[in-house]
Amino acid sequence: MSETIFSKIITGEIPSFKIYENDYVYAFLDISQVTKGHTLLIPKKASANIFETDEETMKHIGVALPKVANAIKKAFNPDGLNIIQNNGEFADQSVFHLHFHLIPRYENDIDGFGYKWETHEDELNDDAKKEIAAQIQAHFE
């Protein structure tokens, strides 16, 4: 995997505002600060996306995510928190080093965050949903 801005942040070649670090992960303020406290959590073992990330690395991320989320909650008492992880250019991934955005949400704050979520539950009957589930299940090892 080629070097990314995040690998340079991990090594200190590019400065960052560190939030949390252990042997496996690094969390720092996102430069954009979509909302106050917007933080990125990245593994130190680089992989481009979730599809290329090993199970051990994900375990360390799973341990760190609630720690970082709770620190943000205690610091700023947001009304909610979005955790977002994009995979691939089509899904708006711009840095190809696995990363998780922790974006605090504030009820009366006009922030720079939003997304559109349209449901299609009325367009798919139970048989169609059963077939979709079976197609995914067939690919577990």
Residues belonging to the active site:
99
Q: Are 49 and 98 in contact (CB under 8 A)?
A: yes
d(CA 137, CA 73): 36
Q: For residue 26, what are its two tokens?
A: 């690094």
CB neighbour list of residue 51: distance below 8 Å, 6 or more residues apart = 87
Q: Are 17 and 53 in contact (CB under 8 A)?
A: no
